[in-house]
Amino acid sequence: FMMMYLHKAPHRPWWPRPDKFKEFTKKTFPEPETLFDDYSNRGSAAKTAEMNLLTHMMYSHDSKIRPETLAKMEGKVLPVVEEFPNSFYGPYNRATAEQKALYDPVLDSINDFFYNNWPKMNDTEKMKWKYQRYMQDYLGSISSVDDNVGRLLDYLDESGLAENTIVIYTSDQGFYLGEHGWFDKRFIYDESFKTPLLVRWPNVVEPGAVENEMVQNLDFAQTMLEAVGIKPPSDMQGESLIPLLKGEKEKWTRDAVYYQYYEYPSVHMVKRHYGIVNKEFKLVHFYYDVDEWELYDRLKDPKEMNNIYNDPSYADTVKKLKKDLIALRKKYKDSPEQDQMYIDKYKSAGMIE
């Protein structure tokens, strides 16, 4: 049988359980190199996305500032809009009286510091403070996921089931933890594009083995089917990961993956885009209200800070990647017509004109 064991904790808003809330607010986390990225040398999409910690992460919903604290500070804080109704007390009021008694002293400390110091901070200090608050709550929540995955693995060991159980640990996408000054996901850029994938399969997967081939979450279904001896339907678009899991790398043929994001305009305002990614390069086309291309050299510029699409020395690379991109769009039955279909759906729903 197959069991899916899902955790909501990594999803916004991040409310660690009370003991972890107290523990993690005492921690200070290293800042990513790109925390203060100004998005120069890139197109308009990075500049207009609404994912910046300083200007878009909300005070109550995200940083745990009580509405009463904000009311006392009217005119002394950046005008970040609290888009979610009851954004603080909605989650807070789901706690029991016992939990609130543990939350409140930590919340008092956070709110007192904010009230007394925020108006005197410059933007750099505010960004640093918001980053730490984000990491404290996010990683405090993730810590509970770690604990409970550990409980599951312990159960498999203690019950004698570990040797005949395949364990797959993954997510639906990556996530920005302050890189480029962002939170959330959506972009084809590296931090949100990469997704964790760990597999434990006794006597098949070598413990500690690491693979860097281009795999996708659409490969999971074929992998699971092959693992139990079931032939996948011919219309499934993924590829079984069994050769890679068995160390038979010579049987793996994929050298590039395709990505498409079309939820725009919407929350976080990340523009519609599609692209191709291989081990060396990433080519992206932003479309709908813009027509912009970006190219990144993943080996020379792993943090994707410099768009080299218009660099003449990469002209041949662009030409080849565009040809490969067209082939992948055709393979996955994506097309300008498909793009237009989703645009028309947004129009019919009154979301765009």
Q: Do 61 and 161 reside in the same domain of the chain? A: yes
Q: Among 83, 56, 82, which residue's Cα sits nearest to residue 69?
A: 82
Domain boundary among 146, 180, 211: 211
Q: Do 153 and 93 reside in the same domain of the chain? A: yes
Residue 76 has a pLDDT of: 81
- How far apart are alpha carbons 60 and 72 in whole angstroms? 14
CATH number of the domain encompassing residue 296 = 3.30.1120.10
Task: Please tell me what DSSP assigns to residue 182.
Answer: B
DSSP helix/strand/coil, 220: helix
- How far apart are alpha carbons 117 and 130 in whole angstroms? 13
Q: What is the dihedral of CA 18, 19, 25, 31, to 10 degrees?
A: -110
Domain boundary among 174, 194, 211: 211
- Does residue 75 register a pLDDT over 90? no
Whether 122 maps to a domain, the answer reads yes
pLDDT single digits (tens) 148-183? 999 999 999 999 999 999 999 999 899 999 999 999
Q: Do 131 and 1 reside in the same domain of the chain? A: yes
Find the domain containing 37 and state its range.
Answer: 1-211
| pTM score of the predicted model | 0.94
Arithmetic mean of pLDDT, 249-264? 96
Whether 243 maps to a domain, the answer reads no
Q: Report CA Rg, the chain.
A: 23
pLDDT single digits (tens) 275-299? 999 999 999 999 999 999 999 999 9
Whether 230 maps to a domain, the answer reads no
Whether 76 maps to a domain, the answer reads yes
Q: Do 204 and 324 reside in the same domain of the chain? A: no
The total number of residues shown for the chain amounts to 353
Longest dimension (CA), the chain: 65
pLDDT single digits (tens) 184-198? 999 999 999 999 999
Q: Do 294 and 188 reside in the same domain of the chain? A: no
Q: Do 69 and 157 reside in the same domain of the chain? A: yes
Q: Do 10 and 98 reside in the same domain of the chain? A: yes
Which helix (H) or strand (E) element contains residue 144? Answer: helix 123-158
If one counts the domains in the chain, the total is 2
Q: Mean pLDDT over all residues of the chain?
A: 95
pLDDT single digits (tens) 129-150? 999 999 999 999 999 999 999 9
Per-residue confidence at 305, pLDDT binned at 50, 70, 90? very high
Residue 74 has a pLDDT of: 82
pLDDT single digits (tens) 35-47? 999 999 999 999 9
Whether 250 maps to a domain, the answer reads no
Q: Do 276 and 186 reside in the same domain of the chain? A: no
In this structure, what token pair is assigned to residue 222?
Answer: 């074929």
